[in-house]
């Protein structure tokens, strides 16, 4: 990423061009787990956005002080600290949601996307671009989760964010783990198709970490 990229482009990149979930196929693990409802997906996304942005900011501020030989452990340590912060905040203010997905919040520390952004971007760029990059990627992640959440909650419970909409009996399978995998696969395949059909792209990577 060049240093001359405008902030707006950077921001959009996190949402569309290099969307962590659908394009880079990174950090899928807990992402799929919490999308049984739009609200859960949203809160998880916000947690990730917070950690990503704060980690990027911290790494960027400290980039001239961290010895290159220990940079990966330092980044992991920084990420772990911010995850602890959001973990404590969430358990205090959103107790009921936290009970369901507490484990996945704590596992944010292992997200490959955070480490790779810190390594590839924040360690080489100034404060403001790093901040924007973190926010962009975090938002991209949140939107992806909410999209999955809408898909699953609507079909699985007939509601959106807890408000019942569909009068018909829902497909229970969608809120179970199976539904999560199906939703993810179908969503990715669909987005690949859109990408190829309208944007002439080649589809998402097939390796995924």
Partner 1 sequence: MWQHVLTIFIASALINNFVFSRYLGLCIFFGVTKRMETAVGMSFTFTAVMLVEAVLNWFIWTYVMVPYHLGFLKIVIFIGTVAAFVQAADTMMKKVAPALYYKLGIYLALIVTNCIILAVPLINADENYSLFESMALAVGSGLGFSLALIIMASIREKLELADVPKSFQGLPISFVLTGLIALAFLGFSGMITL
> With contact defined as beta carbons under 8 Å apart, do 132 and 52 qualify?
no
- Identified binder of partner 1 from the candidate list 81, 94, 100, 159, rule CB under 8 A: 81
The whole-angstrom separation of Cα 127 and Cα 34 is 31
For partner 1, the closer of residues 72 and 165 by Cβ is: 72
Of 53-61, 143-151, 155-163, 200-208, the segment contacting partner 1 by CB under 8 A is 200-208
Q: Is the dihedral of CA 169, 171, 174, 175 positive or negative?
A: positive
> With contact defined as beta carbons under 8 Å apart, do 122 and 61 qualify?
no
The number of residues that bind partner 1 (CB under 8 A) is 49
Q: What share of the chain is helix, strand, coil (3-state, %, to 5)?
A: 75, 0, 25
The whole-angstrom separation of Cα 155 and Cα 130 is 38
* 173 is an interface residue for partner 1 by CB under 8 A: yes
The whole-angstrom separation of Cα 146 and Cα 133 is 20
For partner 1, the closer of residues 149 and 179 by Cβ is: 179
* 59 is an interface residue for partner 1 by CB under 8 A: no
* 200 is an interface residue for partner 1 by CB under 8 A: no
For partner 1, the closer of residues 10 and 113 by Cβ is: 113
> With contact defined as beta carbons under 8 Å apart, do 75 and 58 qualify?
no
* 203 is an interface residue for partner 1 by CB under 8 A: yes
> Interface residues with partner 1 (CB under 8 A)?
25, 27-30, 32-33, 73, 76-77, 80-81, 83-84, 87-88, 102-103, 106-107, 109-112, 115, 173, 176-182, 184-186, 188-190, 192-193, 196, 203-209
């Amino acid at each position: 990423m060049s240093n001359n990229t405008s902030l707006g482009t950077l921001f959009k990149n996190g949402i569309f061009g290099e969307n962590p979930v659908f394009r880079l196929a990174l950090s899928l693990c807990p992402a799929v787990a919490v999308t049984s409802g739009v609200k859960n997906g949203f809160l998880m996304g916000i947690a990730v956005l917070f950690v990503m942005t704060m980690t990027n900011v911290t790494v960027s501020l400290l980039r001239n002080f961290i010895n290159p030989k220990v940079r990966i452990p330092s980044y992991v340590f920084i990420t772990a600290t911010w995850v602890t912060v959001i973990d404590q905040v969430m358990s205090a203010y959103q107790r009921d949601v936290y009970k369901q997905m507490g484990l996945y919040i704590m596992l944010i520390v292992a997200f490959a996307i955070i480490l790779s952004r810190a390594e590839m971007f924040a360690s080489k760029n100034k404060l403001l671009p790093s901040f924007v990059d973190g926010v962009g990627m975090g938002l991209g992640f949140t939107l992806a989760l909410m999209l999955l959440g809408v898909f699953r909650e609507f079909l699985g419970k007939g509601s959106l964010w807890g408000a019942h909409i569909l009068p018909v009996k829902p497909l229970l399978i969608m809120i179970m783990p199976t539904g999560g995998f199906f939703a993810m696969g179908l969503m990715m395949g669909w987005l690949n198709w859109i990408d190829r059909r309208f944007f002439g792209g080649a589809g998402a990577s097939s390796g995924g970490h």
